[in-house]
Structure 1
């Protein structure tokens, strides 16, 4: 009775990577992240306009902000994850995958904390009737949010540096994308090191928007090359 030859790992077919599709998905993720985060300055100015010395009353007045901020940070987290996973499918780089997904998770945590903070108006008044106690509680939550933003920014900076090196070597980004990634990293890390504040994280807005455009253009170029090869 004839037996079939045993197959080794080298005999198995290797799946082909659709470079154009992955670059296009990465670009869409970067644009989603950048556009989502771009809504935050609008919300910040809205909150400043509604500032109320009575902490609990102020939260009740702008209770809708919690849901909007949750949506903003969820969009930022989702876009970041899509960008990171798409690039990882091209690079298979453990450092980029770890730092990028940590950044996405940190942004989602920030969204949950901002939602809880904005939605706590009535409960805060009941739990801490004294204004001084409300201020302490509000400050404590703000400290947690600030720390989470710092973590998200630092891990995003690590991912951008990895993209500027390994990503450039793999042809995912060129010199313009490398410059954008390095510049955003410096802007994010600088304030954290110098003043212990993470406001430099807003550099991700232009960085992700520009990278999104770059990745979409490279996706189109990759598609043209694939058509020429198969044609």
Structure 2
């Protein structure tokens, strides 16, 4: 490893290279060696900037948010209220995760490295709606966790656009043969259009938050 290699790299460049390789090999195949190959350097040059794979994932998750488009600002809440703002946030967050192979798994459990990401005023629309800070924080995190968990399950079935895990197709076929009310309920729980299932789950959460709005 030369000083030139150290100087030429940055955590930002490494994170971007990691995201590019992620779409090719998935989280299971991602390694610092593969990222070094992508950047045309030797692997030890990366350790000057990220000590291990977890630090790499932290930086990649932070970069995903930096580059995200469509995350709503305060103007959405001012025009449509907190519910429209939170719904748009959830939808944009899911789109961001889906834009990368295994994007939700990469994001889960990471620690963001930039204090400005996300915006420190992110939860202000919930406070403006009358929620006390505890309820605002818990409401937002519940929606955040729902989106993250839903998308992890979604990407397990569809690892990449146009692909489907054949185990899921076999499961659908087996459950459809049962023909019982319980099997039908399972269908609505695990199968069907992903956008529709996401919308229903989000509506359930927003309805629960509505109960808190305005409550002393």
Q: Tell me if both proteins adopt one fold, taking TM over 0.5 as the criterion.
A: no
The normalised TM-score by structure 1 is 0.29
The normalised TM-score by structure 2 is 0.30
- The one of the two structures with greater contact order (alpha-carbon pairs below 8 A, sep at least 6) is 1
Q: Name the structure where helix makes up a greater proportion of residues.
A: 1
